[in-house]
Structure 1
Amino acid sequence: MSSCRSLWLACLLIAAALWLSHERAIAANESINLQAIIDQAKPGDAIALAPGSYEGPIIINKPLTLRAEQEGSVQLHNSSLKPAVLITADHVAIIGLSLVDEGLKDEPTILATGNQASLEGLHIRTVSMGIAIRDADDGAVSDTTIHWAVNGVRMADKGNGIDMFNADRWTLTNNSIHDVHDGIYLENSDDIIVSGNVIERSRYGVHCMYTKRTIIEGNEGNRNVTGAMVMAAKQVSVVGNTFTKQSENVNSQGILLYDAHDTEVADNTVDGNRVGVYVEESTNNHFRNNRVRYNFIGVQLIQSSGNTLTDNAFMGNVADAQAQGSEDNRLMDNYWDSFQGLDTDGDGRSDLSYAINPFFQSIARKRPAFQLFFQSPGMIFLEGLYQTDRERWTEDSTPLLAPLDRQLHRDKSGDGVKTGLMGLMLLGCASLLFYKMRRRER
């Protein structure tokens, strides 16, 4: 009898243990209702979220700060067709959260319509748009990662990483964006700073439409269709960026300007793209000190005028330049490694100008199939024969015979030679004077 009681008690204890472990598993899998926490907070509160899984979607309609106690330890899950986070109030900050948005929908993962929002250190996995800013000013998105969460979706069906409309004076810095439609899309949004971002495997890395005074600085674009696209924009600054391997699409470019005006493009590295720099129907833009290397075509100028290209280096491109209908541009002091010049006065600049032959570009526009003959021996021969309206060709009046950095090195070397010769002359004079003085002493 005692053995039966012991067996029964053991079974009861095992059942109790299994029930407790089951209840703990259910509790562990349950998400915390973050909206209830937000609703209980007072305007201006700073909420430190303990590590765990939280339930979305949420609406923030009062000034608040949501911060993960440890970056990446707080996960907000959203399976609804609404934004995972909707910000309607001013002065809202969200810091260090991970957002997993599983619903394939038109709504973005984060939608901000309040001014002076700050989104920092977020990790966003989305099958929608990452962050959308609408009619909101003076905010910031920084140190945030955005990437597409599922495979097998066409690029055209994806959402943008950061999408801004009618939003002024935002800073977008040090973000990492991958596998979306456009990495950063700006429309009707002025005075935006886009700095230090890395954008890969998307359509356009940075895309400006109808913007003014946008600063695109120190970003990296790799394997996108186009690194930076500036369209219908004014006073944009594209400085110190690196755009590489935008080459897998027939419309790929490192930097594209279309209907862009008064824009500065300087100190960029544009390597391994189909077209390094493409300029169409754009005026009064300045291109200086860019390194355009190993592209299929270095620079294309189409129906553009009043632009200035100085101190750029075009090296290792299949074709350095193409131009059509682009008169009154000012090209000088650029280095074209395919050009063999003549320098009679030793100033490092060719006395012969570098003219961009428009023949191939003209016939390829009329007969696109002729692009198959690009750089073929027959096409090169025909280009050499074509001299019509040569005075209207785009040309570099003073092309460099060496890249600017090598030219500076050569100038310094020349200064060293001059200094050495001067030293030898002074030493000779001193020796002669010493010799005459010794003869007088005798």
Structure 2
Amino acid sequence: MKKCHVVYLVCTATMIGTGLGAAPAPAGRTTHVVHPGESIQKAVDAAVPGDTVLVTPGTYHESVTVSTPRLTLRGMGRTTVIRPSTKKAAEDDACAGGGNGICVFGTKDRNVKGVTVAGLTVTGFTRTGLLSAATDGLTVRNVTAVKNGVWGIAQERSVHGIFRGNTARDNGDAGIFLANTITAEEGAADTQGTEVAHNRVEGNRIGITVRRLRNLAVADNHVTGNCAGVFVVGDENKPKAGDLVVRDNHVVRNNRSCPKTERLPALQGSGIVLTGTEKVLVADNTVEGHSGKSPLSGGIVLFKSMVGVTGEKNEVNGNRLRDNAPADLVSTETGDAARSNTFEGNTCGTSKPAGMC
């Protein structure tokens, strides 16, 4: 038995060897096949770098921690379902003990590299469906994260991530949540090209949240039926959040009503919101049908952050907006900050202040 010390979110995760039957795979790699009634965690613990854990259709009541580099955890579609265990979590099981479903964790000193999680459903966890920290090159593909208490899919302190083709629906906070760090106050981190693309995000408090990060793309996602669609969030820490791209997304009718929190006012009718950011390119998005009375309501909204940090040198270009209230384009910035932001080539009917369409 060995322990992997995880410092960002947890203490330790136990790794237990198993004699679970396995099938050979190409290039000397092994595929460990898990059937209903068997333990996914035991298969993961038996795997070595490069192996695949293939989980067959069925419902599995457990949390799963992955700390093995280049491991693939793959289901066989939405009918491979992971739900919370009815048993009390062990004291050293940080994933289950924290209310999370699948956890991909590196350590304080080393990111876990090249893990893939694909083709399964994770649902009903009190905190997060799929949570990752200290990863390099994590791929999350065709995962359905539904009805989890806080986030559907969440990541912190990681680089080179790929989140593609997932569905995040009816989660308590963000469907997809990316941050520099979840708990500490720090400047924005460079994600080194993380990509959030071709996901369907609906029925959450916020569809996609990018908090205190730089150098990533949010592209070609379908975001609908949330209280707010896409949030890019900065604050007073340095470096500032920004230097990223939000483009080619379909952001439509995010008009659910959500009460205020410690961090944000009540939300309703927000399409794409930038708050306290710099050098964000918002381009070629379709943003339609938003309406609300929140300070953050509108189609594309540039909003001075809750701690008074201005948004500067952001570019809002070539977007298609209609039927958003109080306006298609909204900016609360003033003075030099307002003058540094540009609005060009957008198709829209209304703006606040006037003159940005």
Question: Is TM (by shorter chain) over 0.5?
Answer: yes
Instruction: Report the Cα offset of residue 53 of structure 1.
Output: 3.4
1:251 counterpart = 2:237: no
Contact kept, 8 Å, 1:49 with 1:74, in 2: the verdict is no
How many matched pairs?
274
* 2:253 partner letter: K
Residue of structure 2 in register with 1:307 after alignment: 341
Q: Distance in 2 between matches of 1:133 and 1:277?
A: 29
Partner SS for 1:257:
strand
Q: Distance in 1 between matches of 2:289 and 2:19?
A: 51
Q: Distance in 1 between matches of 2:286 and 2:332?
A: 22
Contact kept, 8 Å, 1:54 with 1:74, in 2: the verdict is no
Contact kept, 8 Å, 1:96 with 1:120, in 2: the verdict is yes
Give the 3 Å change call, closer, same or farther, for CA 37–75 of structure 1 in structure 2: farther
Q: Give aligned-pair identity as a percent.
A: 19
* 1:131 partner letter: L
Higher fraction of strand: 2
**Which of residues 148, 152, 160 in structure 2 aligns to 1:161?**
152
1:43-442 → structure 2 map (5 Å cutoff): 45-49=29-33, 51-55=35-39, 57-58=41-42, 60=45, 62-63=48-49, 64-68=51-55, 73-78=57-62, 84-96=63-75, 98-103=80-85, 106-113=98-105, 114-128=112-126, 129-148=128-147, 158-180=149-171, 181-188=173-180, 190=191, 191-232=193-234, 233-249=241-257, 250-252=266-268, 253-274=270-291, 275-280=298-303, 281-297=310-326, 298-303=328-333, 304-305=337-338, 306-315=340-349, 320-323=350-353, 356=354, 395-396=355-356
Instruction: Report the Cα offset of residue 56 of structure 1.
Output: 5.3
* 2:302 partner letter: V
Rg (Cα) greater in structure: 1
Backbone CA RMSD of aligned residues: 2.6
Normalising by the residue count of structure 2, what TM-score does the alignment of the two structures yield? 0.70
Partner SS for 2:210:
strand
Partner SS for 2:151:
coil
Moved over 6 A (4+): 39-42
Q: Distance in 1 between matches of 2:29 and 2:41?
A: 20
Instruction: Report the Cα offset of residue 166 of structure 1.
Output: 0.1
Higher fraction of helix: 1
Q: Which has the higher contact order (CA 8 A, sep 6+)?
A: 2
Q: Which runs of 5+ in 1 are unaligned?
A: 1-33, 79-83, 150-157, 324-355, 357-394, 400-442
* 1:119 partner letter: V
Partner SS for 2:18:
helix
* 2:346 partner letter: N
1:36 counterpart = 2:35: no
Instruction: Report the Cα offset of residue 95 of structure 1.
Output: 1.3
Contact kept, 8 Å, 2:21 with 2:32, in 1: the verdict is no
1:129-167, CA deviations, whole angstroms, 9 ceiling, x for partnerless residues?
Answer: 111111111110011111117xxxxxxxx1211110101
Instruction: Report the Cα offset of residue 90 of structure 1.
Output: 0.9
Normalising by the residue count of structure 1, what TM-score does the alignment of the two structures yield? 0.57
Contact kept, 8 Å, 1:35 with 1:56, in 2: the verdict is no
Contact kept, 8 Å, 1:225 with 1:246, in 2: the verdict is yes
Contact kept, 8 Å, 2:22 with 2:33, in 1: the verdict is no
